Every structure is written in C-alpha cells, then in structure tokens.
C-alpha cells in the first residue's frame, strides 16, 4: 500500500472505510476501500461476493476493480475515482434534471443492469448512492450484496435499502431474483425526475403503504403470489386506487411514465427485463454508444464512495467505484497474481432529432 498516498477519507460503513488516494507512481487519483474484517488467507479474499462478481464483470457502465491487495491480513480494493453519486448530484440541485439527462443516465444504468443479469448476477442494492457519476458518465457500484442468479434460494439475508426494495422482498419472499433490480431502477428513474424518493417509507410496512398509494393496491388477480405472501406474514394491504402517475412524476413524458410503471409492477413476473427496458420507445432518441478500446489512452474517469447520507436508510453496504487498465490481484503476505480485464468504455453520443446531447452539462 506504500504505492498510494491517502488524501482523505470519503466514507465509513459497516464493512469498510473508503479513502481518496493518489498513486505515487502515476499520480492517478483512485478510491481505496479497506475492509474492516481481517483476512488470513487469499482464499478468504476470493470468496467474497464482491470480489467474485467484480472479477467476472467488465462493462463500461459498471464500476471496475483496478486492484485487490492483501497486506498484513488486511484487504484493500483499489477503484478509479469519480466525482460523486446520483444521490449527491440530485440533493445539490435547485432545479429538475432535463429529460435528456434522465434518459442518458437511465440508459447507462440499464445497460449496466442488462450486462450484470446476462453474466448471471443480480445486484440486490440498487439505489442512487450506488450509482457513481463523473460528469455525464454513470456506473453501477457496490456489489457487496450481489448474488448469482443460478444460486439456490431461499435467500434469507439482508437485501437492499428499504426505499428501493421490491415488494416481494418487503413481503419476505425467499425466491426473489433479478426483477428486484428492475423495480429499484423504476424507483430511481422516478426520483431523477422529482428529486424526491418515490417510496420513502419509515418501515417495511410503511413502504408497502406508500407503494399502494402510488401504484394502487394489488389484488389476487394482479399479483396472486403477493396476496399469499402478505397473508402469510399477517399484512393487510391498504386499499388505494392507482392515481395517474403523472401526478407523482409531473415532469416526465408519457413514454417515461409508461416505462416507470412497467418497471414498478407489483408482480415481478410482469416487469420487463433490462434489455426490454432498453428497447422501450423512451430510449428511441438515445444513440447507441460505440464501444472502443481505450487502453493506453487518456486516463479513465475515476470513482469515489461516500458515507450513507443522514436520514436515508442504510443497506449496510458501502458505495464503491471503478477504474480502467489491468486489474491486479496482489497478496503482500506472500502471493500475487495478475488478472486482466479489457477496458472498453464508450462515450455517449449526442441525441438525434436536434435534441439535447446526452453529454450536456449537469
């Protein structure tokens, strides 16, 4: 770790502390996460879900691990440094995002989700804090709760932050899967338009109550499995008729409202996949990015992680970040082994039809 100079602390979570640091060799700014748990072997390190998932994931819309270092039984993750996250970006604004900006952000987020799901994982903790931004680039971060789609349920451990938690998880279903990420994306998309969380419940029951108020109460016909889950835990859905979503998200286009409603369907089997979301007419104005190899080119955008903001529920998982170039696995206790990923980060191209560019300034 003497190859890096720590500049300041960025965040402190249940499992680790994150620093902003500078490489003494290249002057590259990075984010370093130090795990609080001790790791007495390299096998222990490699067994971490976060390491297992990030080692397999290589996509421009996903945070990329630059280096893993084990030193004196302490584990460090080195990521690129980014300017902040979507929560911070929205919190600091005094006016709404233009729809072209929301469209660009959601296109990148859903590209990341489509790739994660295709590679056999689901994230389980999608929220604005875990979406890192650098100017107009958004990358999915924090895979500390990620699971493999092929892993066997039931899932009984803690999952996701309450405000973005899918209803099947709130109702304690042990058989949830990738659609929980899609529900969270729908809630995030609505929040990008309103700068307010869509379902800011103070408890699991209150979150379900707020979902009913926005989405309308589910029925045996619309979500039979949900009514069974609710009955099993003694929960009674409050009775609400679904109001027009345009009242909740007044600045969104009809296409945007249609996509949000689809992603936030009560029944997970009725939600579109990430690929289907990307094919929605809402994204017709977004030019598909051209993937180009950037190794040896300009320094990649960096990534950081911030502490959980006060007043927002925590997922007990710390936001992290991603970087370009070769990823190194280094065991300073006596073992080392390089692992490489190609870096194919594409730029977002301008929107067509004379609209605002996807790279317009925030």
CA 306 from centre of chain: 14
Domain identity same for 272 and 312: no
Domain identity same for 58 and 199: no
* 346 part of a folded domain: no
* 327 part of a folded domain: yes
* 196 part of a folded domain: yes
Domain identity same for 31 and 172: no
Using the predicted structure, report yes or no on whether residue 125 has a pLDDT greater than 70: yes
Domain identity same for 61 and 198: no
**CATH number for the domain harbouring residue 31:** 3.30.200.20
Distance CA(240)–CA(215), nearest Å, equals: 8
* 88 part of a folded domain: no
Buried b (16+ CB within 10 A) or exposed e, 254-266: ebbbebbbbbbbb
Domain identity same for 28 and 115: no
Tell me if 167 sits within 8 A of 183, measured CB to CB: yes
Domain identity same for 257 and 155: yes
Q: Which range has the top average pLDDT, 195-204, 297-306, 317-326?
A: 195-204
What is the total count of domains within the chain? 2
Domain identity same for 127 and 169: yes
Which helix (DSSP H) or strand (DSSP E) does residue 145 occupy?
A: none
Residues 125, 142, 181, 343: which is the catalytic one? Answer: 125
* Average confidence (pLDDT) over 280-307: 51
* 219 part of a folded domain: yes
Beta bridge partners of 122: 147
Q: Quick check: is 125 catalytic? A: yes
Q: Which range has the top average pLDDT, 52-61, 105-114, 155-164, 296-305?
A: 105-114
Pairing of strands 327-331, 65-71: parallel
* 360 part of a folded domain: no
Domain identity same for 100 and 208: yes
Taking only the tens place, the pLDDT of each residue in 156-165 is 555 557 899 9
Is 34 part of any known ligand binding site?
Answer: yes
Distance CA(267)–CA(77), nearest Å, equals: 37
**CATH number for the domain harbouring residue 139:** 1.10.510.10
Domain identity same for 268 and 297: no
At residue 91, the 3 state secondary structure works out as: helix
Taking only the tens place, the pLDDT of each residue in 197-255 is 999 999 999 999 999 999 999 999 999 999 999 999 999 999 999 999 999 999 999 99
Distance CA(166)–CA(211), nearest Å, equals: 10
Q: Which residues contact 106 (CB under 8 A, 6 or more apart)?
A: 185, 188, 189, 192, 283
Using the predicted structure, report yes or no on whether residue 278 has a pLDDT greater than 50: yes
Domain identity same for 253 and 116: yes
* 347 part of a folded domain: no
Look up the domain containing 16 and give its range.
Answer: 4-82+292-339
Domain identity same for 29 and 125: no
Domain identity same for 58 and 178: no
pTM: 0.78
């Amino acid at each position: 770790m003497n190859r890096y100079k720590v500049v300041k602390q960025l965040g402190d979570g249940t499992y680790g502390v994150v620093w902003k640091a500078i490489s003494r060799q290249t002057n590259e700014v990075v984010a370093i996460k130090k795990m609080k748990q001790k790791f007495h072997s390299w096998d222990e390190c490699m067994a971490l879900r976060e390491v297992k998932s990030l080692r397999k994931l290589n996509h421009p819309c996903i945070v990329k691990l630059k280096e893993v270092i084990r030193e004196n039984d302490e584990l460090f993750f080195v990521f690129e440094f980014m300017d902040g996250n979507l929560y911070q970006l929205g919190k600091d604004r005094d006016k709404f995002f233009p729809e072209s900006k929301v469209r660009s952000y959601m296109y990148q987020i859903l590209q990341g989700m489509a790739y994660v799901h295709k590679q056999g994982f689901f994230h389980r903790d999608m929220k604005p804090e875990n979406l890192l931004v650098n100017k107009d680039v958004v990358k999915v971060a924090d895979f500390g709760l990620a699971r493999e789609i092929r892993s066997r349920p039931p899932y009984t451990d803690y999952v996701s932050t309450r405000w973005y938690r899918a209803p099947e998880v709130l109702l304690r279903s042990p058989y949830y899967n990738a659609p929980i990420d899609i529900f969270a994306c729908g809630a995030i998309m609505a929040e990008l338009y309103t700068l307010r969380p869509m379902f800011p419940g103070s408890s699991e029951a209150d979150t379900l109550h707020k979902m009913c108020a926005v989405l309308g109460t589910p029925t045996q016909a619309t979500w039979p499995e949900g009514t069974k889950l609710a009955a099993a835990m003694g929960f009674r859905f409050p009775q609400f008729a679904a109001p027009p979503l345009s009242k909740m998200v007044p600045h969104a286009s009809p296409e945007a409202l249609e996509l949000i409603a689809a992603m936030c369907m009560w029944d997970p089997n009725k939600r579109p996949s990430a690929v289907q979301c990307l094919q929605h007419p809402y994204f017709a104005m977004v030019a598909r990015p051209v993937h180009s190899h950037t190794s040896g080119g300009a320094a990649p955008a960096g990534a950081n992680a911030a502490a959980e903001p006060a007043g927002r529920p925590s997922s007990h998982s710390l936001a992290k970040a991603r970087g370009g170039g070769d990823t190194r696995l280094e065991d300073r206790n006596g073992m080392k082994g390089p692992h490489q990923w190609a870096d194919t980060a594409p730029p977002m191209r301008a929107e067509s039809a004379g609209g605002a560019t996807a790279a317009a300034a925030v």
